[in-house]
Homo-oligomer: A and B are copies of this chain.
Amino acid sequence: MAENVTITVDALGGDDAPGVVLAGVEQALAADPDLTVVLCGPAEVVGPFADAHGRCEAQATTESIAMDEHPANAVRRKKDSSIVVGCRLVKEGRADGFFSAGSTGACLAAATLVMGRVKGVKRPALGQVLPAYGRPVLLLDVGANADCKADYLLQFAQMGAVYAREIMGVPAPRVGLLNIGEEDAKGSVFAQEANALLRAELPEFAGNAEGRDILAGSFDVVVTDGFTGNVCLKTIEGTSSVLFRYMKDALMASAKGKLGALLVKGDLAELKGRLSPDTHGGAPLLGVRGACVVGHGSSSAEAVKNGVLATARTVRSHVSEVIAAAVAEDGERA
């Protein structure tokens, strides 16, 4: 039997909320018998759903944060929004983790401001697990911190290594620094500084990773600043999407291609699904007290299910506590 875990879920998060959120929560509850969900959202949405489902509680909220609102301002102003309330219940100990497929910026701001940072962590970082060839890779920061210092990257690497061990099941993770050359001395002034710090302080450091190494399966964790990480993540999504479009066009252009396409359609759709962000259960925000996972805005019900289950797994693996210990240990050493 797994540890009992309570997760708050933002019923209003995502392009197709609340429909897909409710469907995803239903699936998550069915998949995990030791999971309780506190559903945050309008009373008329969360009430009936909680009444109809075991291990689900309703937390009525009166406000919502739109995708295009200024994240920090919205979080400060809308105290009764589903995102802020979801985070507050974790802060108050009434839940262990929070999941939303809503505004990434608002979730980051709420988790950081309301749940608070793990002691010693300078900046929480948003990670994204990607389907690298042969083994998954955690890329971070993918957007929480557009401007970084080298010592933030050291902490991102420490937190990433904890996540790789506890959640991805890699006993001795290889952590790379995203850079524009393999040799330690390559790259921008910032990248060189980060390289030197990682080389000196991080036992798991495996050297620089170039852009082509992210998905090649040679690293378990790749760290970078939130600007480069976000550009990279969206470049991967964009490249994949354009390639599939090109492929469709190429196959539809000939009779032989069309026939072949009929035969390979299922395999390619399966592949596309496997590569999609939906499969990976959202992006963990590392370095906040309690678990926080943010789903893609276009999350399907399955993505919501996977996101909620990933949040529960993060709680059960005590990722926050292990990060606190790793960061404290490093602080003592320094």
* Residues of chain A having any CB pair with chain B under 8 Å: 132-133, 143, 146-147, 178-180, 187-191, 210-216, 224-228, 230-243, 245-247, 250-251, 253-254, 256-257, 259-264, 266-268, 270-271, 274-275
Establish whether residues A243 and B275, one from each chain, have CB atoms under 8 Å apart when the complex forms.
Answer: yes
Q: List 20 A-B contacts (CB under 8 A).
A: A133-B245, A146-B180, A180-B234, A191-B227, A211-B236, A211-B237, A212-B234, A212-B235, A213-B238, A214-B235, A228-B231, A232-B235, A243-B275, A247-B268, A247-B271, A250-B268, A256-B266, A257-B263, A259-B263, A261-B264
Minimum distance in angstroms from A224 CB to a CB of chain B: 8
In the docked arrangement, what's the CA distance between A180 and B141, Å?
12
Establish whether residues B243 and A267, one from each chain, have CB atoms under 8 Å apart when the complex forms.
Answer: no
Minimum distance in angstroms from A145 CB to a CB of chain B: 9
Chief secondary structure at chain A's binding surface: helix
Minimum distance in angstroms from A196 CB to a CB of chain B: 15
Residues of B within 8 Å of A246, CB to CB, are 133, 271, 274-275
Q: Which residue of B lies closest to A215 (CB)?
A: B242
In the docked arrangement, what's the CA distance between A180 and B146, Å?
8
Residues of B within 8 Å of A263, CB to CB, are 256-257, 259-260, 263
Establish whether residues B240 and A216, one from each chain, have CB atoms under 8 Å apart when the complex forms.
Answer: no
Minimum distance in angstroms from A30 CB to a CB of chain B: 29
7 smallest CB-CB distances across A and B, nearest first, come from: A260-B263, A211-B234, A212-B238, A211-B235, A260-B264, A146-B188, A239-B239
Residues of B within 8 Å of A262, CB to CB, are 260
Establish whether residues A235 and B239, one from each chain, have CB atoms under 8 Å apart when the complex forms.
Answer: yes
In the docked arrangement, what's the CA distance between A262 and B264, Å?
10
Residues of B within 8 Å of A212, CB to CB, are 234-235, 237-238, 241
If A227-B188, A251-B264 touch, whether A236 touches B234 (CB-CB below 8 Å) is no
Q: Which residue of B lies closest to A262 (CB)?
A: B260
**Contacting A191 at CB < 8 Å: which of B146, B216, B260?**
B146
Minimum distance in angstroms from A54 CB to a CB of chain B: 39
**Contacting A260 at CB < 8 Å: which of B146, B190, B253, B260?**
B260
**Contacting A230 at CB < 8 Å: which of B180, B215, B230, B274?**
B180
Establish whether residues B239 and A240, one from each chain, have CB atoms under 8 Å apart when the complex forms.
Answer: yes
In the docked arrangement, what's the CA distance between A257 and B232, Å?
31
Q: Which residue of B lies closest to A230 (CB)?
A: B180
Residues of B within 8 Å of A238, CB to CB, are 210-216
Q: Which residue of B lies closest to A261 (CB)?
A: B264
Q: Which residue of B lies closest to A68 (CB)?
A: B183
Establish whether residues A251 and B235, one from each chain, have CB atoms under 8 Å apart when the complex forms.
Answer: no
In the docked arrangement, what's the CA distance between A314 and B262, Å?
44
Minimum distance in angstroms from A72 CB to a CB of chain B: 13
Q: Which residue of B lies closest to A259 (CB)?
A: B263
Minimum distance in angstroms from A278 CB to a CB of chain B: 16
**Contacting A231 at CB < 8 Å: which of B132, B210, B256, B270?**
B210
Establish whether residues B188 and A211, one from each chain, have CB atoms under 8 Å apart when the complex forms.
Answer: no
Additional A-B contact list (20), CB under 8 Å, known A211-B238, A239-B243, A260-B267 = A133-B242, A133-B246, A146-B189, A179-B231, A180-B234, A188-B227, A191-B227, A210-B234, A211-B230, A212-B234, A213-B238, A228-B228, A231-B231, A247-B268, A250-B267, A250-B271, A256-B263, A261-B264, A263-B263, A264-B264
